């Protein structure tokens, strides 16, 4: 038994933990959980927890159903007690999914991201990621297909005073910090009921775990405040959607590989090639970074969501933005990818972003000129005339691009790649079968 495992067992005994939740994530980014008694944990460290992998969509076939959840002691956290009624102390750990022979499961999103982290390390890099996570607070999620009711009528940076949940962000930050998830900023976003909470940078695997915990805990805190939270990319037709703008930097040892003090924009050759990789492969990775039919309702119409594969210094309408907040600090040089929404699977999304950027570095991609226009205000014809390549406008377009992508297949692995495509084509076909209220209003009297 290693020191981390010993620390967990000692913490469970000292803090009287009665209930231990083992978390893992399926291919679509749904959080799964199995509970074990503390007395069983030592054996779980040695042998894992066996479960029927065929019951988790995309994990394994019935003929190869035996699957093992191996607790990762480095992710141990005591769960916050949200109400005084929560008398029983509980904790959680993320798990790696392995096969009975001990080999990593090809279906485990954590393993997918680990492979990409190793690919970066082979080139001498390690990455840091910092997401800005947007979501909506609404009165109820039980709307019978009708638009939800936002909890407030506020706008950008408004102070909550008379909202349905005026203490929500304060409670949320406290809970996240208690779980070891540092928060940098929080504020009200542009749309009624829309919130943003930014997490402090971390390595990709830690951050993907944090995003999964974030989404779970935000929903719990919302319910404690008498409301509910949704990470749906665009629940309101007439309001901006919810993105997860993601800042990435690469380091070589202690040196920021994206910083060059002698460059006009303080961008190194490595940074330029990384950005060029993201732009070149943006359409191919779109189905992973924006995985739902609804995701494309957010990106097609702008509202600071990118519509084309462009980049710019501080240009918030571009796909890749280079922030200029601290131009003199080499460690702060980073790039911000603005396409992701907060309903992606973070393990897979970070994997394809890093894979695209790394390919740009390794193959010496050339960075095109930056965009200085407000791209969301340009027509499609104007964008094409200026040489901008549009991002997919529907899940169907994104899946067609993904089917042609060797990069995405390599990054995800054959198992996840094939399952993801099958599942998302099924979603698209189910959507196509729908007859919408708009169609009925527009065409019924023809």
Q: Note the pLDDT tens digit of each residue in 346-360.
A: 999 999 999 999 999
pTM metric for this prediction: 0.94
The pLDDT of residue 302 is above 80: no
For the chain, the average pLDDT equals 90
Q: 78 to each of 93, 198, 326, how far by Cα in Å?
A: 9, 22, 35
User: For position 51, what pLDDT does the model report?
Assistant: 73
* Mean pLDDT, range 212-221, rounded to an integer: 96
Among 69, 88, 74, which Cα is nearest to 8's? 74
* Mean pLDDT, range 405-430, rounded to an integer: 96
Domains and CATH numbers, the chain: 3-102 (3.10.20.70), 115-440 (3.30.590.10)
Q: Note the pLDDT tens digit of each residue in 430-443.
A: 999 999 999 999 99
The pLDDT of residue 58 is above 60: no
Among 277, 97, 128, which Cα is nearest to 202's? 128
The pLDDT of residue 257 is above 90: yes
- Those residues with Cβ within 8 angstroms of residue 286's Cβ, 6 or more apart along the chain or in another chain: 339, 391, 392, 398, 401, 402
Q: How many residues does the chain have?
A: 446
* Mean pLDDT, range 234-263, rounded to an integer: 94
> Beta 244-252 vs 335-337: how paired, if at all?
antiparallel
User: For position 64, what pLDDT does the model report?
Assistant: 44
12-26, 81-95, 305-319 — which is least confidently predicted?
A: 81-95
User: For position 197, what pLDDT does the model report?
Assistant: 95
- Those residues with Cβ within 8 angstroms of residue 395's Cβ, 6 or more apart along the chain or in another chain: 287, 290, 291, 292, 293, 295, 296, 424, 427, 428, 431
The pLDDT of residue 315 is above 90: no
User: For position 20, what pLDDT does the model report?
Assistant: 92
Q: Note the pLDDT tens digit of each residue in 195-210.
A: 999 999 999 999 999 9
Among 230, 222, 221, 198, which Cα is nearest to 211's? 198
The pLDDT of residue 304 is above 80: no
**pLDDT tier, 326 (very low <50, low <70, confident <90, very high otherwise):** low
The pLDDT of residue 25 is above 60: yes
Q: Note the pLDDT tens digit of each residue in 153-181.
A: 887 767 765 577 778 989 999 999 999 99
Put residue 323 in one of left, alpha, beta given phi > 0 → left and psi -120 to 50 → alpha: beta
Among 311, 148, 321, which Cα is nearest to 237's? 148
Q: Note the pLDDT tens digit of each residue in 67-124.
A: 888 999 999 999 998 766 667 889 999 999 998 888 888 889 999 999 999 999 999 9
User: For position 272, what pLDDT does the model report?
Assistant: 97
Considering Cα of 7, then 10, then 12, then 14, what sign does the dihedral take?
Answer: negative
Alpha-carbon span 81 to 89, nearest angstrom:
8
User: For position 53, what pLDDT does the model report?
Assistant: 60
* Mean pLDDT, range 309-317, rounded to an integer: 88
Share of the chain above pLDDT 90, in %: 67
Alpha-carbon span 80 to 66, nearest angstrom:
33
User: For position 290, what pLDDT does the model report?
Assistant: 98
The pLDDT of residue 62 is above 50: no
């Amino acid at each position: 038994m290693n020191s981390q495992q010993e620390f967990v067992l000692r913490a469970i005994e000292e803090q009287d933990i009665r209930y231990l939740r083992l978390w893992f994530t399926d291919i679509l980014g749904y959080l799964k959980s199995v509970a074990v008694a503390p007395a069983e944990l030592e054996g779980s460290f040695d042998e894992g927890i066996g479960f029927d992998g065929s019951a988790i969509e995309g994990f394994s076939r019935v003929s190869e159903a035996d699957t093992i959840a191996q607790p990762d002691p480095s992710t141990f956290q005591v769960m916050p007690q949200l109400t005084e009624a929560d008398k029983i102390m509980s904790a959680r750990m993320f798990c790696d999914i392995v096969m009975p022979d001990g080999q990593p499961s090809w279906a485990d999103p954590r393993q997918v991201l680990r492979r990409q982290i190793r690919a970066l390390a082979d080139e001498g890099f390690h990455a840091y990621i910092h997401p800005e996570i947007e979501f909506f607070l609404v009165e109820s999620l039980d709307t019978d297909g009708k638009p939800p009711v936002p909890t407030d009528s506020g706008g950008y940076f408004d102070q909550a005073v008379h909202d349905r949940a005026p203490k929500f962000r304060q409670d949320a930050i406290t809970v996240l910090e208690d779980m070891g998830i540092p928060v940098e900023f929080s504020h009200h976003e542009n749309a009624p009921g829309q919130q943003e909470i930014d997490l402090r940078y971390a390595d990709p695997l830690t951050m993907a775990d944090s995003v999964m915990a974030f989404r779970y805990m935000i929903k719990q805190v919302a319910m404690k405040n008498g409301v509910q939270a949704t990470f749906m990319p665009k629940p309101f037709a007439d309001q901006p959607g919810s993105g997860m703008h993601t800042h990435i930097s690469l380091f070589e040892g202690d040196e920021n590989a994206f910083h060059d003090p002698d460059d006009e924009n303080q961008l190194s050759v490595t940074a330029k090639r990384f950005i060029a990789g993201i732009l070149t492969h943006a359409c191919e990775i779109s189905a992973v970074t924006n995985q739902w039919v609804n995701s494309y309702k957010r990106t097609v119409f702008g509202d600071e969501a990118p519509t084309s594969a462009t980049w710019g210094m501080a240009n918030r309408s571009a796909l890749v933005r280079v922030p200029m907040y601290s131009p003199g600090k080499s460690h702060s040089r980073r790039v911000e990818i603005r396409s992701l929404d907060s309903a992606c699977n973070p393990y897979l999304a970070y994997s394809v972003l890093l894979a695209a950027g790394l390919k740009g570095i390794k193959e010496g991609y050339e960075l095109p000129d930056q965009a200085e226009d407000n791209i969301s205000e340009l027509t499609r014809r104007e964008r094409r005339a200026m040489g901008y390549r549009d991002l997919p406008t529907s899940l169907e377009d994104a899946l067609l691009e993904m089917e042609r992508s060797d990069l995405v297949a390599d990054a995800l692995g054959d198992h996840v790649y094939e399952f993801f495509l099958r599942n998302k084509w099924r979603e698209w076909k189910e959507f196509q079968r729908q007859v919408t209220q708009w169609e009925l209003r527009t065409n019924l009297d023809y």
